[in-house]
Amino acid sequence: MFKTLRIILTSALVRGIVGQALGTALGYAFVAGLRALRGAETGWIYEPALAFGAIIGVIGFLLGAGVLTDWLKWAIGRQTPLRHGAPAGRPEWSRYFNVDYNHKVIGIQYGISSLLILLIGGVFAILFRLELAHSGMQWLTNSQYNTLFSAHGIIMIAAILGGVGAMVNYLVPLMIGAADMAFPRLNAFSFWVSVPAALLILGGIAVGGWDTGWVGYATLSLRAPVGMVLFLLGFWVVGFSSIAGSANLLVTVATMRAKGMSLFRMPIFVWAAVAASLIQLTATQTVGVALTMSVAERVIGLNFFDPTGGGNPILYQHLFWFYSHPVVYVFVLPGLGVISELLPVFARKPLFGYRWVALSSLGIALVGFLVWAHHMFTSGMADALRVPFMFSTMLVAVPTGVKFFSWIATIWEGKLPSNPPTPLLFVLGAISVFLIGGVTGPILGTIPTDLHLHDSYWVVGHFHATMFGGFIFPFFAALYYWYPKMTGRMYNERLGKLHFWLMLPAFWVMSIGQMSVGLLGMRRRIADYDPALGIDGTQLLITLAALVIGWSVLIMIYNLAFSQRMQPVAETNPWRSRSPEWQIPSPAPEFNYDVPFEVVGEPYDYGLADATYIRDATPAAVPSGD
Amino acid sequence: MGRLRHAISIIVLVALSTLGLRALFSVILALPRAASAEAGPIDTLFNAHFWMIAFLFAFIMVMMLYSVFVFRRKPGDETDGPHVHGNTRLEIGWTIIPTVVVLGFGVWGAITLNAITSPKAGEMVVHVTGKQWAWTFDYPEQGDISSGDLVLPVGRTIVLKMNAEDVLHSFWVPEFRVKQDLVPDRETTLRITPTEIGDYMLRCAEICGLNHTLMEAKVRVVDAAGFQAWVDEKSAAPAFADMTPEERGAFWHSAEGFSCFGCHSLDGSPSVGPTWQGLYGRQEQLADGSTITVDDQYIINSILHPADQVVAGFQPNLMPPDYADKIAAREQEIQAAEGIDIDITADLIAFIKTLQ
């Protein structure tokens, strides 16, 4: 017990948090001290000092956790070996609390933090859903409500980015036959830098919150309470994680694929990961600029957005959405990749139109860059921009449609099990939910109908359907599906199904309910609504549905947490998959493949006798896969 | 033969589901009543979209559930599915057809947008000002009358020329269907042609800070005679010289004055600023811990330097610091128009004293 405590207290996580606290205090004291030397009076929370402290605090975290140690040693000419396994004298589980370079450990670190953050964001949602269950103010103030919904947005985005990081990190090297990612230290950096970022955002709530939503539109962002600056900086730091992680992934896929694995013989999930990484690598900088400009305008008075000094508030929206629209495809593409990956395994049929599915991911990524201004149809931007952006937006439906049609064609005449296991249920549920999100999109892309729906709850329903269908449901499918790979044990099937059958109908009710009240005039981001709108009943239903979703997720957390102790050891390949990662023991060995494999066939040749995807790349080749 | 049976089943199921969904939508996805000429073509487009949503949802779901139930593995069957890799003709088809359909909707949308935004004969201009958290409407064609309610004549196209004073706001009356943001220092325009006499609510649709939820204004659509009567009544408002200080104070509190009501209630109900009911003479605890009694001096200082003495529990820096300038400008305006010196802060104090 004492030993456990000691291991945790000396872990990178705790050292990092201490480093962040010290760094923040130092940075704060420096600026506040300068001000005191000038003899100026300073209140308790002085924003420029807080901003500077926040930045120094992030560096303090990275130094304290030891994320930068190897690079700093290299800078002074010292060699550092790539360490593997738990630190000397420490148990295996302590790897997850420390800076570890193995992609599977980092993947699980991402996954667990993602679930934790998801829970925090979910609790926030339930808190304000309780407020909205009935018209009239129930138990929150306007200020608390504004902070809760603003934090819910950005926290969920952090959770989703973490979940994407989990899937991509854990799966891609296994799928392409690499021993690790191309840059293991950069990989660890990508994960660890997101921890102080999350702490900054939570700190923003602690110092009093903010009220701009996650979009942080100027000029409200320039007047919002002091929590705003920590939110902006936290968001900004998360960007480092995205940029470094995506560069790493692209290099890994480009250079470390197994012999014979041509681009069109990669497992389809890898295509989705590549498309998502291309967006992250090229779009994140733009939101970084927008956030930097907002911080600079607030803290040191550089004038970019406030028109009274010659700025332009609409400029912020362009910069913001140039990233923040494409990034929703970062959230959904890996999830859609999971759907494409799992359907052939369960249907025992090849993925229909592999190349079209692969290229549709790139198509979505490309078109995704050309549609950002559809978030601004009512913003007052140049009139001439509206119609072109309407047409480009409508085109998103085309590659998205290709995915739906290909999934249907894959399971058409396929042999799906008559008693579907949990991952398959979540995949089918994901298709239905993403379909709700998909079909409710063009009505928003068409300007005249958007003029009514813009900033209404229709939008809330639409994007929750795309996020749940494109990320949450597939992510949960992936957690169940690869659970035996990660832990070597099977999850509890009965609890998994209970989770699904609670969550799917609850989500439908919630999402369709949101669209319904939106049409009738429910605006986004309001703490209260007029009973005359006649939506009290629907609002209560939405809140009840949200509670059911919350409880069902807790069932999953219980299942995942305890199955690795209570459930029997899983078979090596419980889904009879042809994918490389299922041909090796579970959990996967430290360096994945003791014997490298080479690709000699197509990845999804189910239903073709004697088809081989991979075989050991040794002189005496033995076929593997089925 | 098997193929034909599947095809017929699918067609029947998709058709029935589409009709069923569309019928369901008219209950659960209902629009508010339409009260503007613009709502006509927009609702036609809504209807077309709802049909497409019903069809696409029905089509994919029927295909998916059909595959799940009809083709599912039979007990004892251990074989794989057919080895079908793809079909290029199908792929091209389901790329081209959706492209044509969505571009068609785009063209329809562009035509509709053009129709509802183009200038019409006999337009009337109303200036809309949004600020945290109040709306003001000025009528340049009706002798510059100013109002906190938006009163509009039925059947005439209104050009709303809109400005925000501080942050983004958005003009939305759901019954009119159209929406437009208000941007600081930039004029945005929205055309609406009310067609139904009645009362509506305008509510801000763009998050604008602490009191966004309650940023609303009454909208009244009246017939031409009613509109003229309202204009006459507004125009006949007494000169400031003929009003008592208390009456002028109430005026300054309204949207025609400085919209103090956006943050300060008169009936004791809580808002983002202290209520004015029973304010004068009240003991207030300030954020710095000290206690003061509200008197002339405190009120004047709080109007001119709002960040100085903030009452505990209220957010600082919400109230704009520029009221000294605004008040001076208004006093000069009145001096120029009526030739009298008005002390607006004194009017407000007189008004507040009546609210015991």
pLDDT surpasses 80 at A21: yes
> What topology is assigned to B240-353 in CATH?
Cytochrome Bc1 Complex; Chain D, domain 2 (1.10.760)
pLDDT at residue A570 in the model: 81
> Cα distance from B295 to chain A (closest Cα, Å)?
27
Residues 6+ apart with CB under 8 A from A532: B201
Select the residue of B56, B168, B188 nearest A217 (Cβ to Cβ).
B168
Residue of A220, A268, A357, A516 for testing the chain B interface, max B β-carbons within 10 Å: A220
- Among A519, A528, A602, select the one facing B31 at the smallest CB separation: A519
Residue-wise pLDDT tens digits, A419-447: 999 999 999 999 999 999 999 999 999 99
Residue A90 pLDDT: 84
User: Could you tell me where in chain B the CATH 1.10.760.10 domains are found?
Assistant: 240-353
Rounded mean pLDDT, B307-332 = 88
- Summarize the confidence of residues B134-142 as an average pLDDT: 95
- DSSP bridge partners of A523: A456
Maximum C-alpha span of chain A: 84
Are B83 and A417 a contacting pair at CB < 8 A?
no
Q: Decide: helix, strand or coil at residue B137.
A: strand
Does the structure show a pLDDT above 60 at B260? yes
Alpha helix (H) residue ranges in chain B: 2-28, 39-70, 88-117, 224-235, 245-253, 296-304, 323-338, 344-353
pLDDT of residue B313: 85
pLDDT at A624: 53
pLDDT recorded at residue A456 = 97
Over 70: is that where the pLDDT of A622 sits? no
Compute the distance between CA of residue A233 and CA of residue A125 in angstroms, rounded to an integer: 23
B154 and B195 Cβ atoms separated by less than 8 Å? yes
Cis peptide, bond prior to residue A219, ω within 30 of zero? yes
How confident is the model at residue A623, as a pLDDT?
53
Does residue B340 surpass a pLDDT of 90? no
The answer to whether domain B124-235 has CATH 2.60.40.420 is yes
- CA–chain centroid gap for A98, Å, is 22
Q: Residue A621: is its pLDDT beyond 60?
A: no
State pLDDT tens for residues A543-597: 999 999 999 999 999 999 998 888 888 888 999 999 999 999 989 999 999 899 9
Q: Which of B81, B166, B177 sits opposite A451 (nearest CB)?
A: B177
pLDDT digits (tens, 9 = 90+) for B60-90: 999 999 999 999 998 888 888 899 888 999 9
* Nearest-5° Cα angle at A45, A41 to A46: 55
Give percent of chain A above pLDDT 90. Answer: 85
- The pLDDT-based confidence of A74 (bands split at 50, 70, 90) is very high
Residue A397 CA to residue A393 CA, distance in Å, equals 8
The side-by-side arrangement of strands in the sheet containing B150-153 is: B150-153, B216-222, B198-204, B169-172, B179-182
Residue A619's pLDDT is: 56
Residue A119: is its pLDDT beyond 90?
yes
Torsion of CA A559, A562, A568, A569, to 10 degrees: 100
List beta partners, residue B127.
B138, B161
**Identity at A619, one-letter amino acid code:** P
Cα separation values, A603 from A355, A477, B115, B183, Å: 12, 20, 53, 54
Measure B318 CA to nearest chain A CA, in Å.
8
Q: Which residues of A touch B67 (CB under 8 A)?
A: 347, 408, 411-414, 416
Residue of B nearest to A145 (CA): B210
CA distance B196 to B220: 10
Interatomic CA distance for residues A518 and A531, integer angstroms: 14
Task: Over range B48-70, report the average pLDDT.
Answer: 96
pLDDT over 60 (residue A479): yes
**A349 contacts B80? CB cut-off 8 A:** yes
Count CB-CB contacts under 10 A for residue B356: 10
Contacts with A380 from chain B: Cβ below 8 Å: 180-183, 186, 188
- Across the interface, whether the CB atoms of B42 and A451 are under 8 A apart is answered yes
| pLDDT, position B166 | 92
> Which residues does chain A have within 8 Å of residue B61's beta carbon, measured at their own beta carbons?
432, 435
CB B315 within 8 A of CB A143: yes
pLDDT digits (tens, 9 = 90+) for A254-294: 999 999 999 999 999 999 999 999 999 999 999 999 999 99
Cα separation, B321 vs A506, in Å, equals 48
Handedness of CA A538, A542, A545, A547 (dihedral sign): negative
**Nearest residue to A153 (alpha-carbon basis) of B207, B131, B133, B179:** B207
Residue A530 has pLDDT above 60, yes or no: yes
Q: Which of A350, A380, A436 sits opposite B83 (nearest CB)?
A: A350
What is the model's pLDDT at position A568?
A: 82
Could you tell me the pLDDT band of residue A16, with boundaries at 50, 70 and 90? very high
CA-to-CA distance for B242 and A163, rounded, in angstroms?
A: 69
CA gap B97, B87 in Å, rounded: 16
B181 to chain A: closest CA residue: A379
Q: What is the pLDDT of residues A459-470, one digit of tens each?
A: 999 999 999 999
The CA–CA distances, whole Å, from A281 to A197, A243, B257 equal: 18, 5, 52
Chain B nearest C-alpha distance from A198 (Å): 24
DSSP summary character for residue A487: H
DSSP B142-167: GTTEEESSEEEETTS-EEEEEEESSS
A416 vs B67, B83, B203: nearest CB? B67
Question: Which residues of chain A lie closer than 8 angstroms to B75, CB-CB?
Answer: 418
Compute the distance between CA of residue B346 and CA of residue B352 in angstroms, rounded to an integer. Answer: 10
Give the pLDDT of residue A91: 87
How high does pLDDT run on average in chain B?
93
Strand A614-616 relative to strand B145-147, pairing: unpaired
Q: Check whether A49 has a pLDDT greater than 80.
A: yes
| CATH 2.60.40.420 residue window(s) in chain B | 124-235
Separation in Å, CA of B164 to nearest CA in chain A: 11
Q: In A348-385, where does DSSP find H-type helix?
A: 354-368
For the cut 80, the answer to whether the pLDDT of residue A240 exceeds it is yes
Strands B169-172 and B158-164, sheet pairing? unpaired
Question: Does the pLDDT value for residue A620 go beyond 70?
Answer: no
Q: How far apart are CA A525 and CA B172, in angstroms?
A: 14
Radius of gyration of chain A (CA): 25
Predicted local confidence at residue B339, as pLDDT: 86
Q: Which of A142, A380, A407 has its CB closest to that of B210?
A: A142
- Confidence label for B2 from pLDDT (cuts 50, 70 and 90): confident
